[in-house]
Structure 1
Amino acid sequence: MSSRRAVYTGSFDPISLGHLNVIERSSRLVDELIVGVGINIEKQSLFTEKERVELLSRVTKHLPNVEVKTFAGLAVQFVRDCDARVIIRGVRSLTDMETEFTMTLANRKLDPGVETVFLMADDEFSHVSSSLIKQITPLAGDEELARFVPREIVADLREKLSG
């Protein structure tokens, strides 16, 4: 088991500049970073799992130590399946911190050998959420939208939301 392999999980629907910022910063901390694309059962997905993997792979291709995979079930089990013992979580606000704290305690109960590392969002991304992106996409121009999502996925996002 590699102590320098970490896993960053999320639904990434769509990937935001905040997600990409956490991925880039995490990739500098570890030898290998696995980005796990999961399903959030509490949300209706915009992109399919396969589309999210493709979008993530496209915007992380400049990071040679990043691999994108899908998973179903518990994130902590996915971390173990990847032969890792570190899960990385991005945190934007105190509200996120409360939710993540609860999840971290649950993960510790499920597998005490998996540690959680929190990366605070850079202040320029602390307000960005998938819900916000979905709301502003029909109203914003491409340049405005590129302040929230990687420029490489603007067309994909527009196509998906145009029906």
Structure 2
Amino acid sequence: MQRIALFPGSFDPITLGHTDIIDRALDLFDEIVIGIGTNSSKTPMFSLEQRVQWIKDIYARTPKVKVLTYAGLTAKFCEEIGARFILRGIRGVVDFEYEKAIADVNRMMDNKLETVFLSCTPKYSTIASSLVRDVLKYGGDPTPLLPEQVLKHINR
């Protein structure tokens, strides 16, 4: 049986923190599906199509990584794609408490789902997409925060 993990998020934009978690999880799973969840209560800075394209560009040479979009419950999406694992990155204690609550609810929805937490590499532990959006909005330099493929698009 294939070990498929879903890495859910908005990825608005995908950051070096995200890619750190994905890259380090490659040896743990047969396939990682980056699931861009659509949330009707959030207005993203970047289009869904742009976020999908960035991820495709970043992982073009990594066949184990796929990107899909979804709406609704993460546990239901895991069932649709055959994922038994949910991959989550943890920056600190606050993240852990929040993520554990979500993991507990996902397990209630489907008792076969396991959430795997990876702690961020320390140099990426302060990167959050919301902070990156603020840096971009106010004209700061996002270079230490974003993958090259995202920077190329933003700097155009």
TM normalised by structure 1 equals 0.88
- What CA deviation, in whole Å up to 9, does each residue of 1:96-132 have, x standing for no partner? 1111011011111111111110010110111001111
Partner of 1:52: 51
Output the amino acid matched with 2:108.
K
CA contact (8 A) 1:76 1:111 kept: yes
Q: Cα deviation per residue 1:58-113 (whole Å; 9 max; x = unaligned)?
A: 11123221111111111111111111211111111111111101101111111111
Give the SS at the match of 1:128. coil
Partner of 1:106: 105
* Number of aligned residues: 155
How far apart, CA to CA, are the structure 2 residues paired with 1:87 and 1:41?
22
**Deviates further, 23-32 or 36-45:** 36-45
TM-score, reference length from structure 2 = 0.92
Q: Distance in 2 between matches of 1:61 and 1:30?
A: 18
The aligned counterpart of 1:146 is 143
Give secondary structure in 2 for the equivalent of 1:6: strand
Q: What's the offset of the Cα at 1:41?
A: 4.1
Q: CA deviation at 1:52?
A: 1.0
| Contact 1:3/1:85 (8 A) holds in 2 | no
Give the C-alpha shift of residue 157 in structure 1. 3.2
Question: What is the rounded CA distance, in whole Å, between the counterparts of 1:80 and 1:146 in structure 2?
Answer: 37
Q: Structure 1: where are the runs of 5+ without partners? A: none
The answer to whether the Cα contact below 8 Å between 2:39 and 2:71 also exists between their aligned partners in 1 is: no
Amino acid at match of 1:26: A
Alpha carbons 1:9, 1:36 under 8 Å: kept: yes
Instruction: Name the aligned partner's letter for residue 139 of structure 2.
Output: L
Deviation at 1:146, TM superposition (A): 2.1
Structure 2 gaps, min length 5: none
CA apart distance, 1:3:
4.2
Residue aligned with 2:96, SS: helix
Provide the secondary structure at the position in 1 that maps to 2:67.
strand
Q: CA RMSD in A?
A: 1.5
